[in-house]
Chain A
Amino acid sequence: MNLDYAPAPESRSVVALRPNYALFVDGEFTPAESGEHLTTLNPADETELARFAVAGPADVDRAVAAARRAHEEVWGPMPGAERGKYLFRIARIIQERSRELAVLESLDNGKPIKETRDVDLPLVAAHFFYHAGWADKLAHAGLGPDPRPLGVAAQVIPWNFPLLMLAWKVAPALATGNTVVLKPAETTPLTALVFAEICQEADLPPGVVNIITGAGETGRALVEHPGTDKVAFTGSTEVGRSIARSVAGTGKRLTLELGGKGANIVYDDAALDQAVEGIVSGIFFNQGHVCCAGSRLLVQESIADELLPRLRDRVSLLRLGDPLDKNTDLGAINSAAQLERIRDLAAVGEREGAERWSAPCDLPASGYWFAPTILTGVSQAHRVAREEIFGPVLSVLTFRTPEEAVAKANNTPYGLSAGVWTEKGSRMMWTAQRLRAGVVWSNTFNRFDPASPFGGYKESGYGREGGRHGLEAYLG
C-alpha cells in the first residue's frame, strides 16, 4: 500500500508583506533618493512579492556617514558587556519571530520550509547568541590585550542563505564594536529588511546597522566607498576578484567568501547508508545553492557499482515542490538566471560525455525548477568537474587509491570544503591532513556551527567567519 503524504503547507499568514520596502539608514526606513525600485519574486510561482528601493551613490554616502557617526559616538565607545546585551536581545527576537522569518525566507528564496525552520533560523539565532557572548571577552580571544574595532564595515551578501549570511556578517562585526552597511542580494532582500525592523525593536542605536538594497551597481558603490574600513563579501569568485582589485591599495581590510567545488570522498569501508545520506545532503541541501556543496563525488571504484544504485534510489525519494509544504525536500531554483546556468552546465556535461540521470519527479508548471540530477562517468577534464554549477547537479568521479582521491580532490582552483567517509580513523586523519579545503567534514556534510571557523583556500577566498578566527577579521 502507498502512504501518500497529504499537502501540509505552512501558513503564509504569519508574514505581513508590505508592497514597498525602503532603505534602512540611521535607524529609519527612508526612500532612495533616485526613487528607483526593483521587484522581488517568489521563485516557486513567479508571483511578485514586494518592491524595494534601489540605493544609489547618494544613499550609500548617507548610510556610510550614519555608520561612521554611530561608530564614533555610540557603538565604538560602548563597553563590550553593553554591546552584548543588544546582541542577546536581537538573538531572542529572532527566535521569537523565527516562524515568520522562516516562511518569509522560503517565499523569497524558494528553499523548503523544512530547511529555513530547522537549519537557517536556528543557526541565525545561534550566531547572534555566540557572538553576544564574545562581546565582553575580546581581550581573551588571543588577539592581544585590547583589540580594537576597525570602524565601518561594508558587507555584501548572496541570495542562497539570505538571513544566515547576514548573521555571519553582522553578528561578529557588532560584537567587536564595528558598525555596518549591509547590502542583501537583489533576489532575496526581504528577510534583511525584517531584520532591520528587529534592530528597531531591540532599540539598537541608530546607524549601527544600515541595510541598503539594490543590485550590482549598489554593491559596487558600497564596496568602493572610501568611507569604510572593511569590506566583507560572500558570492561568486568573479565578483570577489573585482572587489579585491578595487580594494587593493586602499588600506581597507577584506574578507572574501567565494565559490567552491567541494569533493566528497567515499572510501570502500564507509558506512554506506550514511554516506548516501551525506552525499544527498552535500549536493541537494538548499537545491545545491551552497558554496561549500559536495558537488564532486569521489567514490572508490571498488564500491561505485554498489553505491550509485543506492544513491539513485535515495534521490528518487526526494520530494520536490511547494517550498512551504513541510514535506518538501527540494524547493525552487532562486532565479530564472540561475536556472539557465544550471541547465547550460548540465547540458555541457552531457555533451562532454557524462551520463545524465535525473530523479523522476514532476516539475511544477510555473516557477523555476530543476530535478535533482546525477552525472556519472565524469572525469577531471570535464567542465562539470571544474566549474561551480550552484544547483542540484552532482558530478561523480571514481578513484582507486587514497593518494589518487586526495590528488583529485585538490585538483581544483577552489578549496572551500570537502567530505571524507571512512570507518577507519587513521585513514580519515591522513586524508583530512592532505585536503586543501577550509572545512573538512568527517562522516558528515554541510554541518555548521558558529564556533567553527569557515572559509576557503585558493580561489574560494580568504579570511574566516565564525569562531575565534572570525573575530580577527573585525579587529585591528
Chain B
Amino acid sequence: MPVPTATPSGVIVIAGRPVSAAHRPTELKVPVPHTATAPEAASNRALRAFLHGLPGVDEVGARARAQDLATRSVKTTAKAQAIDLALSMVDLTTLEGADTPGKVRALCAKAALPDPADRSVPRVGAVCVYSDLVATAVEALRGTGIGVASVATAFPAGRAPLEAKLADTRRAVADGAAEIDMVIDRGAFLAGDYKKVHDEITAVREACGGAHLKVILETGELATYDNVRRASHLAILAGADFIKTSTGKVSPAATPPVVLVMLQAVRDHHAATGARVGVKPAGGIRTTKDAIRQLVLVNEVAGPAWLTPDLFRIGASSLLNDLLMQRTRLTTGTYPGPDYYTLD
C-alpha cells in the first residue's frame, strides 16, 4: 500500500507520483511503463532504476525504421487531408532576441488569416512567443480562438535558478498563455540528477495552473536515443501534457528517429496507463514533405488517435507558407511563387 510521504521539496508523493496538480485528479494513478516499475519514491536511485530499466534503443534500427517510413508516398486526396491536418497542428513561432510587439502582432495576424486569398484554410494550433510578449499576443489574438503558447523557464538554455524559472512561468500564465513550453535542465539530466529534472518539471507543472505544459527535452543535447527515451518517460512521469523535441536553437533538432523514439514513449505510456501524452517536434521542419513525414510517423508509430492538434503539434515558422503553397497547388493545379504568400 503506497504511503504518502513528504519529500524535501515539500511535494506530497503517492507511490512516486507527486500530487501537485489538483486539477488533474484523473491522472493520479501511477504511470507504469512496460518493463520497469515506476519508482516507489522520487529518489534519484529509484528514478535511475526506472529509466535505465527501460528497453534500449538500437540507433541503427531506429534510423532504419524512420527511413522506411519516410518512403511512404502520400499523394492526391491523402496529401490534401495531410496538409490541412498539418496546418491545424502548426505552433506558429517567433523566438528571436529581436522580437518586438510589432513583430508578434504581425505573426498573430498571419495566424488568424494564413492565406488572405483562401479563407477555407484551417487555423493554426497556437502562436508561440517569449513570455514577456504573451500579453501582446493574447491581445492580438482575441476573438480568433487561437491560443498563445509561451516558452518559459529561462528558454532556451534553462540555466537559471528555479525561482526565476517559476517566476517566468507564472508571469506568462498570468498574461494569458494557454500553453507553457518549458525546457528541462539538460545539465542535470546528463549529470544523472534525474530527481532535479523531475522536481523542476513538477514545480513548473504546479506554476502552470490550468495551462498545458509542454516539456522540451532538447534532444540535440541529449545526443543518444537511449537518453531521448529516458527523458521522455521522465517528463511524462513528472506530469508533462506534451513532450517536445527541441528549442529550435540547437542542431540537430526534430530528426525523424528522435520523433520516432518519443512517439514510442507516449504509445507505451498509453498502453500502460490509458493516458495519452502529446508530442511536439520543433526545429528543422520547413517543407510540406517534412511535415507529412512527421504525420506518417505519428500514424504508424503512436497511431491515428494522435492525429489531432490536441496530441501532436509542429513547432515551425517557415513551414506554414510551404503548406499554403502546396495546398493551393493541389486545389488549383498551379504553383504560385513565394511572393503570393505573406511574410508574417
Contacts and interface: CB of A to CB of B under 8 A. Distances in A.
Contacts of B337: none
Contacts of A273: 55, 57, 61-62, 65, 264
A277 B61 contact: yes
A408 interface: no
Contact of B72 (A5, A423, A443, A444): A5
A379 B327 CA distance: 55
Interface in B26-65: 34-35, 55-58, 60-62, 64-65
A303 B78 CA distance: 38
B60 A272 contact: no
Contacts, number: 77
A83 interface: no
Contacts of B264: 273
A182 to B, nearest CB: 31
Contacts of B299: 3
Contact of A114 (B64, B65, B71): B71
A208 to B, nearest CB: 36
B75 A6 contact: yes
A8 interface: yes
A3 B79 CA distance: 9
A4 B307 CA distance: 12
Given A6-B76, A271-B56, A326 B62 contact: no
B78 A6 contact: yes
Interface in A246-298: 269-274, 277-278
A419 to B, nearest CB: 12
Given A4-B78, A4-B81, A274-B62, 4 more contacts: A271-B55, A273-B55, A273-B61, A274-B57
Main secondary structure of the interface of A (DSSP, over half): loop
Contacts of B34: 306
B11 interface: no
Contact of A272 (B55, B72, B78, B82): B55
Given A270-B55, A273-B55, A3 B82 contact: yes
A326 B304 CA distance: 21
Interface of A: 1-6, 8, 114, 118, 269-274, 277-278, 303, 306, 317, 326-327, 423, 443-444
Contacts of A443: 58, 60-61
Nearest to A303: B35
B296 interface: yes
Nearest to B85: A1
Nearest to B306: A1
Contacts of A2: 304, 307
A273 B295 CA distance: 19
A278 B58 CA distance: 11
B74 interface: yes
A3 B61 contact: no
Residue with the highest number of chain A CB atoms closer than 10 Å, among B56, B75, B296, B299: B56
Nearest to B300: A317
A271 B300 CA distance: 19
Contact of A6 (B79, B85, B296): B79
Contacts of B307: 1-3
Given A274-B62, A274-B65, A444-B61, A3 B295 contact: yes
A6 B58 CA distance: 32
A297 to B, nearest CB: 16
B77 interface: yes
Interface in B9-29: none
Contacts of A274: 57-58, 60-62, 65
Interface string B264-302: 100000000000000000000000000000011001100
Contacts of B35: 272, 303, 306
Contact of B73 (A4, A5, A271, A306): A5
Contacts of B251: none
